[in-house]
Structure 1
Amino acid sequence: MELILHPSYFIDVVSLVHLYHCNQLMLETHDNYVKQTYRNRCYIATANGKLALNIPIVHQKSGHSVPYKSIEINQTDDWVTQHLKSIKSAYNSSPFYEYYEADLHDLFSDIPKLLIDWNIKTLKWTLHLLHITKSIISSEEYLDDIRARQLITAKQNPILSTHSYIQVFQEKHGFLNGLSALDLLFNLGPSAGVYLKEQQYLIKE
């Protein structure tokens, strides 16, 4: 099974479930940039509930379709410090945050100019730490895949509800669905693969 995904900022758990059970991943690289999507945001669990981490971008002329692969990250904003601080505040008490903290800081030490390059970098970083090996290729033209569009959209309920796992602050907020894979990594660590494998029957072809 081939899965088509729009590169996102730290892939969300629902998309990661789909990715885990595909044979080949194709990254959509010929689409236009769309707001209110996971292209420049991800969600983490904090003491106050679900928090969006947004990457500032260099805005281009409004009223025109802008290719996703041309979107630049606004490097004048100190978003890196803010995101690292928020992630540490959220997951410092999780079982595996300290284990992966150095890797996280290494990742953020070199931010590419283009948003799509950064998102692909965070994807490969996540898959590496979760020991997930997949064949990854890039599209040669816009594919307009329905499931890919559903998965990248942030302002809607996830297209499937995954089984719960132990999250930080779960006693306060209950299980939060649709979070970044960072949540899975810091809470489950090496056991994340077992969890992802168990979600297979939730996927509808």
Structure 2
Amino acid sequence: MHIKQLFYNKNKILINGLYHHLFMNTIVVESQYFAPCIFYKNVNKISHVEFDVYETWQKMSFRNRCTIMGAGGPVTLSIPLEEGRSQRRLMKDVRIANRYPWQSQHWKTIMSCYNRSPWFEFYRDELEVLFQKQVNFLVDWNLACWEWTLKKLGWEISTETTTEYIVHYDMTKWLDLRSKILPKSIMQNFPEPVVYRQVFEDRTGFVPHCSILDLLFCEGKNARVILAKEGS
């Protein structure tokens, strides 16, 4: 299903102009590396998330990359993978190529981009510990990033991984966001991004759909309030 616009109205969600009740408050989605802010806005009122780990790996997604902001504009952090981007393994079997020092490189880039942001020091120590943790499978790393972010937002959302691949979910009980939040189509699918003050906004203008890290470093504890706003 092609999503043109998606936002919450109490216990309903608008998809292609039609309201759907979220009786089970459950989302199924692929695991992502510090996902864009819009993903967290969509799970804001959800009580349960299941990450699909039995899907086949797909390149050109946020599964192994995230977008942060630098002085010159958006910066992409990509996790190197064993067997490369064109592999056809199940997501649960995708291995990180830890022979490359990607974690230290990503951490240095994050520090360079956000060292002077209002809230970087508040999160720095715990995030640095996370980036020192070696993980072999991409799903495990993404889950660690997800759990860290939930803790910082103060959200209590039960989380599971799938045990099989299901093509079609019951849309009266599930919201299927798999492959809806993609780098090439995120602006089309979600034309109303989460808006906040960015560190380099005076130079680059506001850049939408950055990683949740950008929001946390710029807004800190207020990130939770921003994500809860209707239409923000």
Note whether the superposition's TM-score is higher than 0.5.
Answer: yes
Task: Tell me, in whole angstroms, the C-alpha distance in 2 between the residues paired with 1:170 and 1:41.
Answer: 22
- Answer yes or no: is 1:196 the counterpart of 2:227: yes
Amino acid at match of 1:149: S
- Answer yes or no: is 1:78 the counterpart of 2:101: yes
Flag the structure with higher helix content.
1
- Structure 2: give runs of 5+ residues left out of the alignment: 1-24, 169-175
Partner-residue secondary structure (3-state), 1:80: helix
Moved more, 89-98 or 156-165: 156-165
- Look up the match of 1:147: 177
- What aligned pairs does 1:60-79 form with structure 2 within 5 A after superposition? 65-79=88-102
Aligned-pair CA distance for 1:157: 3.0
Q: TM-score, normalised by structure 1?
A: 0.91
Task: Tell me, in whole angstroms, the C-alpha distance in 2 between the residues paired with 1:171 and 1:144.
Answer: 44
CA contact (8 A) 1:60 1:66 kept: no
- Look up the match of 2:43: 19
- Answer yes or no: is 1:111 the counterpart of 2:134: yes
- What aligned pairs does 1:88-103 form with structure 2 within 5 A after superposition? 88-103=111-126
Amino acid at match of 2:28: I
- What aligned pairs does 1:158-177 form with structure 2 within 5 A after superposition? 158=187, 159-160=189-190, 161-177=192-208
Task: Tell me, in whole angstroms, the C-alpha distance in 2 between the residues paired with 1:69 and 1:126.
Answer: 21
- Answer yes or no: is 1:157 the counterpart of 2:186: yes
Amino acid at match of 2:186: N
- Look up the match of 2:55: 31
Alpha carbons of 1:163 and 1:12: their partners in 2 closer, same or farther (altered >3 Å)?
Answer: closer
Amino acid at match of 2:55: D
- Identity rate, percent: 30
Partner-residue secondary structure (3-state), 1:100: helix
Partner-residue secondary structure (3-state), 1:150: coil
Q: TM-score, normalised by structure 2?
A: 0.81
- Look up the match of 1:185: 216
Aligned-pair CA distance for 1:155: 2.5
- Look up the match of 2:7: none
- Structure 1: give runs of 5+ residues left out of the alignment: none
CA contact (8 A) 2:57 2:90 kept: yes
Aligned-pair CA distance for 1:61: 10
Alpha carbons of 1:163 and 1:56: their partners in 2 closer, same or farther (altered >3 Å)?
Answer: closer
Question: In the TM superposition, what whole-angstrom CA distance separates every residue of 1:53-78 from its partner, at most 9, and x where no partner exists?
Answer: 0000001696x631111111111111
Moved more, 46-55 or 134-143: 134-143
Task: Tell me, in whole angstroms, the C-alpha distance in 1 between the residues paired with 2:134 and 2:226.
Answer: 30
Equivalent pairs, count: 199
Partner-residue secondary structure (3-state), 1:149: coil
Partner-residue secondary structure (3-state), 1:51: strand
Task: Tell me, in whole angstroms, the C-alpha distance in 2 between the residues paired with 1:138 and 1:3.
Answer: 11
Task: Tell me, in whole angstroms, the C-alpha distance in 2 between the residues paired with 1:173 and 1:106.
Answer: 31
Amino acid at match of 2:206: F
Task: Tell me, in whole angstroms, the C-alpha distance in 2 between the residues paired with 1:112 and 1:74.
Answer: 10
Partner-residue secondary structure (3-state), 1:136: strand
Task: Tell me, in whole angstroms, the C-alpha distance in 1 between the residues paired with 2:216 and 2:200.
Answer: 16
